[in-house]
Amino acid sequence: MTFSEILKFSIDLLAVFLLALGIKGLSKVRSARDANRLAAIAMSLAVVGVLLDSLGSSGISFNAWIWIIAGSLVGTLLGAVVARRVAMTAMPETVALFNGCGGMSSLLVALAVAIFPLSNSNGELSSVLVERISIVISVFVGSITFTGSMVAMAKLQGWLPTPAWMQSKVRHFINIALGVVSLISISSLVSGDERGLLLLIVGSALLGIGVTLPIGGADMPVVISLLNSYSGVAAAAAGFVVGSQLLIVAGAMVGAAGLILTQVMCNGMNRSLISVLFGGALGSITAEGLSGSAEYINITSCSVEECALTLEAAERVVIVPGYGLAVAQAQHTLREVTRALEANGVEVSYAIHPVAGRMPGHMNVLLAEADVPYDQLKEMDIVNPEFPATDVVLVLGANDVVNPQAKNDPSSPLYGMPVLDVQEARTVFVVKRGMSAGYSGIKNDLFDLANTSMVFGDAKKVLGDLLVELKELGISGKN
Amino acid sequence: MTFSEILKFSIDLLAVFLLALGIKGLSKVRSARDANRLAAIAMSLAVVGVLLDSLGSSGISFNAWIWIIAGSLVGTLLGAVVARRVAMTAMPETVALFNGCGGMSSLLVALAVAIFPLSNSNGELSSVLVERISIVISVFVGSITFTGSMVAMAKLQGWLPTPAWMQSKVRHFINIALGVVSLISISSLVSGDERGLLLLIVGSALLGIGVTLPIGGADMPVVISLLNSYSGVAAAAAGFVVGSQLLIVAGAMVGAAGLILTQVMCNGMNRSLISVLFGGALGSITAEGLSGSAEYINITSCSVEECALTLEAAERVVIVPGYGLAVAQAQHTLREVTRALEANGVEVSYAIHPVAGRMPGHMNVLLAEADVPYDQLKEMDIVNPEFPATDVVLVLGANDVVNPQAKNDPSSPLYGMPVLDVQEARTVFVVKRGMSAGYSGIKNDLFDLANTSMVFGDAKKVLGDLLVELKELGISGKN
Amino acid sequence: MSFLSEAFWVLLLGSLLGLELIGKVPPTLHTPLMSGANAISGITMLAALTLIIKAGTNLPLLVLGAVSLGFALFNVVGGFLVTDRMLAMFSRKSSRK
Amino acid sequence: MSFLSEAFWVLLLGSLLGLELIGKVPPTLHTPLMSGANAISGITMLAALTLIIKAGTNLPLLVLGAVSLGFALFNVVGGFLVTDRMLAMFSRKSSRK
Ligand SMILES: NC(=O)c1ccc[n+]([C@@H]2O[C@H](COP(=O)([O-])OP(=O)(O)OC[C@H]3O[C@@H](n4cnc5c(N)ncnc54)[C@H](OP(=O)(O)O)[C@@H]3O)[C@@H](O)[C@H]2O)c1
Ligand SMILES: NC(=O)c1ccc[n+]([C@@H]2O[C@H](COP(=O)([O-])OP(=O)(O)OC[C@H]3O[C@@H](n4cnc5c(N)ncnc54)[C@H](OP(=O)(O)O)[C@@H]3O)[C@@H](O)[C@H]2O)c1
């Protein structure tokens, strides 16, 4: 065992250890940022390990260096630019993009080895078999990850509508057919016939599209997390292909952790993984919910002026932001309104529901962007007991997260999801454009309550008007 | 790769998987029993794997079978007999005994390999070095585990008093000296000089005794858990010695899990690992506590008769069992008393503090033995809010776990430990022999409260008298 | 090298896994968990077994191996049985009585 | 056999470890954890690197390797940076303002 071997080996062990610490740390608020850096350090270490090992044994040719540097430079630069430029609210699609590229990378590696076999294996049947199987897995999972992630990104960006036939049952047959095609090419590849390769790539790529396309935009974070888990599997398979322990461990860890995260996310949104994957978009249900809006019997609508008067007289105001606020990009206007209120001596805080919006942590990101002080953001468990002592609650483009059905109506699909008990406050204003339902597509009993008034309009516009009204009342944050 | 190799390998993987599931399952009440069986199955699987592997390669000689069967028979029989016979309350010492034998086993394996080297290693320096190091670790940790566990067992059984000089600071010097001796022999062994072997065995055996002897009986569960973690380390080292992956993984898992469990146990008892290991027995502090008993200013003592009258008139009675009840072996008499009360229409339940007694789960075991129905045992969090609606609390040989100082007095060593709020009840009777302190050695403010009365005497005796008094009042569980 | 590299990988991963496996343990389970883990640590019986099998006609080695096997099995069998006995006591007995 | 046996061991243990590593994750961290884990899954860059180094003068292989490396590094670098950006937003800002 040469010195360089020992060195490489220790580096690998250390890298895995740090990666494990990193993944663990990322799941706790206090350690998350350091953990992310730790993981980055671990990855750099791993690269150093590979380079040192090669330098110590066969060396790295000049030619190889050129290609290495070229590839790294392009990847790094693009990655850095995208990571800097992208809007905070576009995180899920960004992660999807990155993830797809990771899948593509595994796919390409496996492809390369399939076409130009490495002289790794010792020719024994069992290792040849394992090598073939890992190439196949890497190609299969890699291309599903790639196309699936790209579709997810495109849908989240709104570039890709869901074709109607994709929501019908037909898609299941198409996907099953694609699955069968992939399986056939897989078995032919494993038995040593290389002609199946192209078929496998095309089949699994289409399968990735077919499975992801029908899924509704709001379920996408879960799908992306699942695809992320797949790309871990693809990495582990690539590890078998090139014979790297480190790759196998890291891939397996990420794959398994991704699976758990997917499950946790599903639970958080009160959805099951099965219904996310096979239930299709929630669009149709939403349509039902819309028609169901006729059921409202006791809606009080009020003007922005009235709302401004009530706010001005209040002592404690709680803002409940939701998806609509994000869509309207109204966070900065909101901040101006709350500045004005605070200047007038009103105590303002923000009630953050964990799944308000369309991605986990959406509201935290949004309000942080608008410079809302961290200590005014209150989590659900903290703020819920405070509602009875609150004068005014301003619900901005939120719907499901303030639906009392979740507590009261066991037949409701929301039942069991923890919600913000805004109805306990003295007065509730709900700002939204119309009576349409939220993500879950169901009626919101809150709107019917006596202490709730609707302020119809786009969140940004309403908040702008509110600012004007408040100024007329002599309140402004500017002085 | 032959078929038998693949088989052995799959069995090993499966065994490790099942062991991991087993350890995980053992930490949850619902799955614990099945998990224990699962782990047992995994171990049997592992044995089958080794036997199959040997049969498939070089075979197992008749001679070897004889010795295998002889060794297994003796070990299995003795183990089964001890496991059946031992009293439930003697669990910690039993675990210590088993654990010590596990350590002894690792020690013997390493010793055997040290004297008759296996032709395992390929003669490369690095592997020779690793082999020597693992032998040394196995011997070192194995003998510490053995002697330490034996001392722990003997102390818990009361066979071994703590010599006075062992509680003085001198012991630290002795232990350091023993550590240095072990280190010297270790380094000579690693450099290839085999004469250090005997010295190492003796040195580490004495070290195990020296470290464990001064530790107080009540801290023993923690020490045993720590030694248990060591025996995992010894097993992993033995795995390096004989070249078995399975042994290494299983040993490492148990070693690491044992470390965590040790930490968890310390937290549960409100002690730090350092103070357990180096703080020495709590005996001296207890003595201080005794003298501190003069501080009590408002003790009300009452007769068994009075106590019986109050109990008879009560509607809701909560029993708080503690270490003293276990020492007095009074659980069966207690059960008779509660049967009598129940027959009289009194609602009886038992408040189980997590660390009442001297081993985790002590009270559950004790009361289960006396046939107390499971649904009458109430955990601390459940029973605490019920005390204000309780007529009589009967504290039987418990002290620290009902000390209100833990809540009220930030300067108390108990401060922060969750306790049973018995003082909230209408009347509290405390049954104990005198005014001496409990495990922590501090004064109990509860005894000074106006609604607390002391009933002095051995728990078993008092309960017997109580039974007689109750019968005289016309109350008995027999009819 | 190969056995060693493998050995260190499993050592690292096994330890990390062990650290993660048990999170919160209710106090009631401390003793059974301790004793169950203790039974598992008797896995050294595999080493003793291997030793006997490889010993050939070397009598001292056979004896050492057998004694070691006996100790280990004492640990394993006793450990699992006693854990089971304890857990049987904890299991819900509301059906009884 | 040896590489394979090692590979399967680390696969098993790595997966088990991954399953245990994250227990409860607060919803705020779902997105950053997802994106951080995603960056780590770009570890395939090591495979791409190995490929290039072993390619010798095989041009198609070099190109495939370099493209693969580019994709992987895009994933890794972008993933870590974007995670950091997100986590920076969550970190307590009470000092500001
Ligand atoms: N956070 C996550 O990770 C995540 C991920 C996926 C799904 N989800 C789900 O998403 C839901 C989140 O609840 P939520 O209360 O935040 O949102 P929601 O229930 O989806 O409701 C959003 C509301 O905003 C209104 N709105 C839309 N555009 C608006 C605009 N420009 N101005 C004003 N209002 C506007 C809509 O009503 P109008 O159309 O009438 O204006 C709608 O009722 C939950 O059901 C959750 O399970 C969350
Ligand atoms: N459960 C565990 O795993 C564990 C392990 C180690 C340490 N500990 C510690 O042990 C303590 C347990 O608290 P605890 O309240 O159960 O016990 P404790 O605080 O140790 O008090 C026991 C009381 O029982 C009395 N007693 C002794 N023998 C008696 C007899 N024959 N009849 C009647 N009374 C008798 C003693 O007073 P007299 O001498 O006056 O009778 C003493 O005050 C905690 O501090 C805990 O941290 C627990």
β-pair partners for A429 = A394, A453
Q: β-strand A392-396 against A427-432: which pairing, if any? A: parallel
**Cβ within 8 Å, pair C8-A13:** yes
* Spatial CA neighbour of A295 closest among A406, A444, A449: A444
| Ligand 1 pocket check for A458: Cβ under 6 Å | yes
Please answer whether residues A335 and A371 qualify as being in contact, where contact means their C-beta atoms are separated by less than 8 angstroms.
Answer: yes
Residues of B in contact with A6 (CB under 8 A): 126
**Nearest residue CA, atom 4 of ligand 2?**
B358
Q: Which of B88-92, D84-88, D89-93 has the highest mean pLDDT?
A: D84-88
Residue of C nearest to B32 (CA): C87
Question: What is the mean pLDDT of the segment spanning B388-393?
Answer: 94
- Residues A420, A402: Cα–Cα separation, whole Å: 5
The per-residue pLDDT for B272 is 81
> How many A/B residue pairs have CB atoms within 8 Å?
8
DSSP B301: B
Reported as a single tens digit per residue, the pLDDT across A404-428 is 988 887 777 777 778 899 999 999 9
Least confident of A413-422, B9-18, B219-228, B298-307: A413-422
Please answer whether residues B107 and C72 qualify as being in contact, where contact means their C-beta atoms are separated by less than 8 angstroms.
Answer: no
Reported as a single tens digit per residue, the pLDDT across B3-18 is 878 888 899 999 999 9
Which residue among the candidates A400, A421, A445, A465 is catalytic per the annotation? A400
- Residues A120, C6: Cα–Cα separation, whole Å: 18
Identity at B55, one-letter amino acid code:
L
Catalytic status, residue A400: yes
pLDDT above 90 coverage of chain B, percent: 48
Measured from the alpha carbon of residue B433, the closest ligand is 2
**Nearest residue CA, atom 12 of ligand 2?**
B356
The per-residue pLDDT for B189 is 85
| Ligand 2 pocket check for B401: Cβ under 6 Å | yes
Identity at C75, one-letter amino acid code:
N
**Residue B479 burial (CB count, 10 A):** 6
Q: β-strand A316-321 against A347-352: which pairing, if any? A: parallel
What are the sequence ranges of the domains in chain A?
A: 1-85, 88-284, 292-472
The per-residue pLDDT for A1 is 62
Model confidence at B236: pLDDT above 60: yes
* Spatial CA neighbour of B136 closest among B206, B237, B233: B237
The per-residue pLDDT for A333 is 94
Identity at A213, one-letter amino acid code:
L
Question: What is the mean pLDDT of the segment spanning B56-61?
Answer: 83
ipTM: 0.80
**Cβ within 8 Å, pair B1-D12:** no
- How far apart are the CA of B151 and the centre of ligand 2, in A? 22
> Torsion over CA of A210, A75, A12 and A259, rounded to 10 degrees?
-20
Contact of A149 with chain D, judged by CB distance below 8 Å, is answered with no
Reported as a single tens digit per residue, the pLDDT across B333-379 is 999 999 999 998 899 999 998 888 877 778 887 888 788 887 888 98
Averaged over successive runs of 10 residues, the pLDDT of chain A (479 residues) comes to: 82 94 90 93 94 85 91 95 87 90 93 79 68 90 94 84 70 86 87 84 92 79 90 92 90 93 83 74 42 68 92 93 90 92 92 83 82 86 91 93 85 78 94 86 87 94 93 73
Please answer whether residues A278 and A422 qualify as being in contact, where contact means their C-beta atoms are separated by less than 8 angstroms.
Answer: no
| Ligand 1 pocket check for A359: Cβ under 6 Å | yes
Reported as a single tens digit per residue, the pLDDT across A320-348 is 999 999 888 899 999 999 999 999 889 99
Q: Torsions phi, psi of A463, nearest 5?
A: -65, -40
Which of B432, B444, B445, B456 most suits a substitution to test ligand 2, by most atoms within 8 Å of the C-beta? B432
Residue environment code for C81-97, b if the CB has 16+ CB neighbours within 10 A, otherwise e: bbbbbbbebbeebeeee
Residue of D nearest to B250 (CA): D13
- Report the mean per-residue pLDDT for chain B: 86
Using pLDDT thresholds of 50, 70 and 90, give the confidence band for residue B24: very high
β-pair partners for A316 = A347
**Nearest residue CA, atom 26 of ligand 2?**
B324
Nearest atom within ligand 1 for CA of residue A414: 45
Contact of B133 with chain D, judged by CB distance below 8 Å, is answered with no
Question: What is the mean pLDDT of the segment spanning B80-108?
Answer: 90
- Residues B107, A104: Cα–Cα separation, whole Å: 52
Rg of chain D in Å (alpha carbons): 18
- How far apart are the CA of A438 and the centre of ligand 1, in A? 5
The per-residue pLDDT for B283 is 41
Identity at B468, one-letter amino acid code:
V
Distances (CA, A) of C17 to A261, A331, B284, B333: 18, 44, 40, 46
- Residues B56, B436: Cα–Cα separation, whole Å: 66
**Nearest residue CA, atom 42 of ligand 2?**
B438
Using pLDDT thresholds of 50, 70 and 90, give the confidence band for residue B321: very high
Q: Name the residue facing C23 among D5, D17, D23 (closest C-beta).
A: D23
Residues of A in contact with C20 (CB under 8 A): 24
Residues of A in contact with C13 (CB under 8 A): 16, 249
| Contacting residues for A274 by C-beta, under 8 A, at least 6 apart | none
Reported as a single tens digit per residue, the pLDDT across B372-383 is 887 888 988 889
Using pLDDT thresholds of 50, 70 and 90, give the confidence band for residue B124: low
Question: What is the mean pLDDT of the segment spanning B312-317?
Answer: 92
Identity at B197, one-letter amino acid code:
L
Sheet holding B316-321, edge to edge: B377-379, B347-352, B316-321, B392-396, B427-432, B452-456
The per-residue pLDDT for D25 is 83
**Cβ within 8 Å, pair C17-D21:** no
Please answer whether residues A308 and A427 qualify as being in contact, where contact means their C-beta atoms are separated by less than 8 angstroms.
Answer: no
Contact of D16 with chain C, judged by CB distance below 8 Å, is answered with yes
- How far apart are the CA of B401 and the centre of ligand 2, in A? 8
Chain Cα centroid distance, residue A288: 26
Please give the residue that has the higher pLDDT: either A390 or B159.
A390
Contact of D2 with chain C, judged by CB distance below 8 Å, is answered with yes
Model confidence at B292: pLDDT above 60: no
Q: Name the residue facing D13 among C5, C17, C23 (closest C-beta).
A: C17
Least confident of A170-184, B88-102, B114-128, B217-231: B114-128
* Spatial CA neighbour of D21 closest among B225, A352, A23, B419: A23
Tell me the nearest-neighbour CA distance from A104 into chain C, angstroms: 28
Using pLDDT thresholds of 50, 70 and 90, give the confidence band for residue B277: confident
| Contacting residues for C43 by C-beta, under 8 A, at least 6 apart | B43, B46, B235, B246, B247, B250, B251, B254, C72, C76
Residue whose pair of structure tokens reads 């009967």 in the numeric block: B394
Nearest atom within ligand 1 for CA of residue A220: 6
* Spatial CA neighbour of B67 closest among A469, C28, C69, A76: C69
- How far apart are the CA of A427 and the centre of ligand 1, in A? 21
- Residues A10, A16: Cα–Cα separation, whole Å: 10
> How many B/D residue pairs have CB atoms within 8 Å?
18
Sheet holding A452-456, edge to edge: A377-379, A347-352, A316-321, A392-396, A427-432, A452-456
Nearest atom within ligand 1 for CA of residue A322: 16
Reported as a single tens digit per residue, the pLDDT across C50-96 is 999 988 888 889 999 999 999 999 999 999 999 998 888 776 543 33
Reported as a single tens digit per residue, the pLDDT across A169-211 is 777 888 888 889 898 888 888 887 778 888 999 999 999 998 8
Chain Cα centroid distance, residue A451: 35
Choose the CATH number for B292-472 among 3.40.50.10490, 3.40.50.2000, 3.40.50.1220, 3.40.50.140.
3.40.50.1220
- Residues B8, C49: Cα–Cα separation, whole Å: 15
Identify the residue among A7, A10, A13 best suited for mutation to test binding to C, counting C beta carbons within 10 A and taking the highest.
A13
